[in-house]
Amino acid sequence: MLKRAPSYRTLELELIEWQERELFEYFVVVSLKKKPSKNTYLPEVTYQFPKLERPTKQMREAEERLKAIPQFCFPDAKDWLPVSEYNSETFSFMLTGEDGSRRFGYCRRLLPNGKGPRLPEVYCVISRLGCFDLFSKILDEVERRRGISAALVYPFMRSLMESPFPAPGKTIKVKTFLPGAGNEVRS
């Protein structure tokens, strides 16, 4: 005799899955690179965290998703010229997998520190979570740190990724270091 397994999920199982979730999957920086022998630019990933190291099926799928991200960060790449001033902007996009899974890209396009005309870059966080306000605040902190030094962005993102996922209604706390401020806990 065959017995049918129940098709419902328990709240306990959902809570365990919720607690195992990561705040984000990837953090990338996308920059514009000049095309050889042309006066136009192509977007490309210039930094990625975490690095894809093991060639598993899941990693290959993730790598395919990552290939699309630069085009979403700079859909207007061919129209860019170096500029001296630029107000940062925040935007988002959604990637849909063949299986219907969704990933959200939360981006901050800004002009890197420097003098004279230069091209903007995009800091992009890829997550399964649809939460624009949260990631906008994270990108505010990324921009603040980037204004001091690009080297301060990456430890912050690592600390954020390693932080336990908060329960619904709770805040996430991240321990970081910022020159002039010392160790700080950001909520």
pTM > 0.75: yes or no: yes
Residue 108 within a domain: yes
Residue 113 within a domain: yes
Q: Which residues pair with 186 in a beta bridge?
A: 174
Tokens matching residue 163: 């932080």
pLDDT at 171: 79
Residue 35 within a domain: yes
Residue 180 within a domain: no
- Residue 64 structural domain: 23-150
Task: Encode pLDDT of 4-56 as tens digits.
Answer: 455 455 555 554 455 456 889 999 999 999 888 778 899 999 999 887 666 56
Q: Which residues pair with 178 in a beta bridge?
A: 182
For the domain that residue 118 is a member of, what is the CATH number?
3.30.450.200
Residue 184 within a domain: no
Residue 174 within a domain: no
Residue 158 within a domain: no
| Count of structural domains within the chain | 1
Nearest-angstrom CA–CA distance, 32 and 84 = 15
